[in-house]
Structure 1
């Protein structure tokens, strides 16, 4: 195979926040996608002051992300897809971004809608996510991967609904906004088992249940959604990519690390994980 052909190596475009510690955000996305045989490219939509202890500040990027995205356009051919996550753009700038994405027409699309990093300052509320969805989802083709907290906020439900609301209540608003599928992550549901759900207009499909693992890990949402994109680019279908992503996370859970011995554990690069086995 000619490695110079556009289709030789799948390309994954990551649009999200820069966590300089690499526990989450664009660096975590890039590591995950490279491990799955994809060429990652990234455009920052948010700059953070963040480490393993928490996030203390989130600002819009200093350089125009749409101009950066347009610069990458010649590379976006063959097998490629996009992941959208943390975004600190103002509404008008986000609409510009959506218009550019509509023109580029990525074949695969996943939105990991983030209200806030797992520890520290917040960024969005449910109204913000609904406004973003109104600009993004009508272009079609988007899989959305919220946790139960993000889904409850999007639906306008009170915080206690995170644990008690039915799956259809948490996912129908996303479908009505234009998502083709909602991958509802089950980590915030009560009980000793974790079970995700894959929801489309055709109904709800519960994915395999697994025992809840002890402790916390940074970047679980990033790892899951980036893995889904990478596995889809390698030929898995939607459901199998979601199943394999969750299995990959569980397989690596115990091999987390705390750089400098400080903060919450993060997933180590796959090469280090394999060496430590």
Structure 2
């Protein structure tokens, strides 16, 4: 279902870390939202010292600066949706949760990007519990791979490891069974409305993404597995879902639209450095809009 672009684009407040590669974080949000006909309102939660190969340092934004900037823009501009990425610190999470509680009618899409928290040492270990306690109860759609979901559910110690299995298929089956039986019950029980489990970390010729709600599986979509790795694929998917919701699409259709956009972006990914490829969020502006997904 194509998105109809209004004369005045819907505004989406995105809170995430600055990424100078343009691949992930706020840059991914802004490029994706703009490409899908929204106006991004970027609020920085941290600064990443990184290149296309990986993250070297994380510098959280001062909580007072974050909340002052977010409040200033929200008092001026009506928002149609929120998109939340890496928050930078527990203090930032608490303040963001307070802000979000004032806008319960605006959908919230969360892509936690917990890989960045590792660089914060002991402070980073508190990021996932804070998200689970303060943000997930307000979340419309949580987007993540099985590892992030396991950590957010407080079950990291029980997460299966690939080396425990003789075959990739057996590992994938064990992950799917445990996520479905235990992890999702905890996440949806926290108040999160929907969870999109991405299959990029699994194996096989297809990436299978599954949308879960309180009644069970809402939809399952399979996509050809593309040669990677990519920088910012998860952020692109989550921001695209926020854009579709901001345009008024129902959530299952918004998730499908976001996947189609992300698949096209990854199909036309390019390398600007020596590391991961960056999704081309403006593939349609380079004469590629007619390509088959």
Q: Is the 8 A contact 2:45 2:92 kept in 1?
A: no
Tell me the alpha carbon deviations over residues 235-262 of structure 1, each in whole angstroms, 9 at most, x when there is no partner.
Answer: 3211111112112222232321212x42
Structure 1 length-normalised TM? 0.86
Structure 2 length-normalised TM? 0.82
Question: Could you tell me which residue of structure 2 aligns to residue 236 of structure 1?
Answer: 249
Aligned residues: 267
1:111 to partner: Cα distance: 0.9
User: Residue 20 of structure 2: SS of its match in structure 1?
Assistant: coil
Q: What is the CA–CA distance in structure 2 between the aligned matches of 1:272 and 1:104, rounded to whole Å?
A: 33
1:192 to partner: Cα distance: 2.1
Establish whether residue 158 from structure 1 lines up as the match of residue 159 from structure 2: yes
Q: Is the 8 A contact 1:207 1:243 kept in 2?
A: no
Q: What is the CA–CA distance in structure 1 between the aligned matches of 2:20 and 2:232, rounded to whole Å?
A: 13
1:177 to partner: Cα distance: 1.4
- 1:198/1:122 CA distance change after superposition, 3 Å: farther
Question: Could you tell me which residue of structure 2 aligns to residue 12 of structure 1?
Answer: 12
| Runs of 5+ consecutive residues of structure 1 not aligned to the other structure | 1-5
Q: Is the 8 A contact 2:14 2:43 kept in 1?
A: yes
Question: Could you tell me which residue of structure 1 aligns to residue 141 of structure 2?
Answer: 143
Question: Could you tell me which residue of structure 2 aligns to residue 132 of structure 1?
Answer: 131
- 1:263/1:106 CA distance change after superposition, 3 Å: farther
Question: Could you tell me which residue of structure 1 aligns to residue 74 of structure 2?
Answer: 73
RMSD: 2.7
- 1:141/1:250 CA distance change after superposition, 3 Å: closer
Q: Is the 8 A contact 2:82 2:242 kept in 1?
A: yes
Q: What is the CA–CA distance in structure 2 between the aligned matches of 1:128 and 1:159, rounded to whole Å?
A: 22
1:173 to partner: Cα distance: 1.5
Q: Is the 8 A contact 1:12 1:230 kept in 2?
A: yes
Tell me the alpha carbon deviations over residues 211-257 of structure 1, each in whole angstroms, 9 at most, x when there is no partner.
Answer: 21122111000110000011111232111111121122222323212
| Runs of 5+ consecutive residues of structure 2 not aligned to the other structure | 1-5, 163-170
